[in-house]
Amino acid sequence: MKYINTFSKDKKVSQVVLGCMRIAQLSVYDADRYVATALESGYNCFDHADIYGDGRCEEIFGGVLKRDKSLRDKIVLQTKCGIRNGLYDLSYEHIMRSVENSLRRLSVEQIDVLLLHRPDLLMEPDEVAKAFDELEKSGKVRAFGVSNQNPMQIELLKKSISQRLCINQLQLSITNASMLSVGATVNTSFDEAVNRDGSVRDYCRLNDITVQPWSPLQYGFFEGTFLDNEKFSDLNWVLGEMAQKYSVSKTGVAIAWLLRLPERMQPVIGTTNLDRLKEIATASQIELEREDWYKLYRVAGHILP
């Protein structure tokens, strides 16, 4: 596993993040083994959200940290807030309440990175700023970021907050690559030239914001994985070729495709399969040749004018 700096110059974090959205049903034994295997494989960054499993995912993870208190210093804890049942809420009261609940469930005194999970259409930036200031001053949150936000939404926040926004989680995979393809089809009438996100990729690069691709193995909006999916037979054929060439799995190639991008991409994977977890860790060690990267891009259906 390779490591990068995201929220702090003094703290190295794994180039691949382990998302904990699916751990709610793990037994005590399996949860301990899950974290231990992740650390052995080089992961040190774990991503949560207050809504994952209605808080159960944070509780499960907190149980692991309770049973082995030495683990806290070895990991980076990231969690998100802002989604409630049927609405989004980035009010001061909800942010503060959510963080207190996450700290309790995770059995820790500090969250390393807090992300705003989705844009709240009723957001008051000054309320977010008040929450961030109090959380930072109290030491309950070390750094801040966003998720699924475009450049103007981030600029609106920056007008009020004093903290640097270090991370933006965005959907990105070989098949869901509109934030890339819009750059390849500039000044054309192709559908891929439609700018749907305000040039968020370029914005993040210009502002040193680390993009964390979520659902890096998925197509559509939670429609399933493209790996070994007959809908993507040509893509899987090429992934298989690349897997043999680079001596990794097709999963590893799909993650390596994201890591080949010149900015500091930090994919978030959500697997609880320990073998796949190990496979993906190897992706950090390979660098796809330019020709191979573009071959995968084209076979996934993207246009090069």
CA proximity to 167, closest of 185, 137, 146: 146
In our burial notation (b when 16+ CB lie closer than 10 A, e otherwise), range 82-101 reads bbeeeebbbbbebbbebbee
From residue 267, how far is each of 14, 183, 207, 281, 304 by CA, in Å? 10, 20, 19, 11, 24
Hey, what are 248's tokens? 């990794």
Distance separating alpha carbons of residues 82 and 119, to the nearest angstrom? 8
Quote the CA–CA distance of 167 and 47 in Å, as a whole number: 12
How crowded is residue 175: how many other Cβ atoms within 10 Å of its Cβ? Answer: 21
Q: Residue 67: which residues within 8 A CB-CB, separation 6 or more?
A: 28, 32
52 is catalytic: yes
Q: What's the CA gap between 98 and 120, in Å, rounded? A: 15
C-alpha gyration radius of the chain: 19
Residue in 34, 52, 246, 297 annotated catalytic: 52
* Separation of CA 113 from chain center: 12
Considering Cα of 106, then 109, then 114, then 116, what sign does the dihedral take?
positive
Residue 26 C-alpha from the chain's centroid: 21
Q: Which residues are catalytic?
A: 52
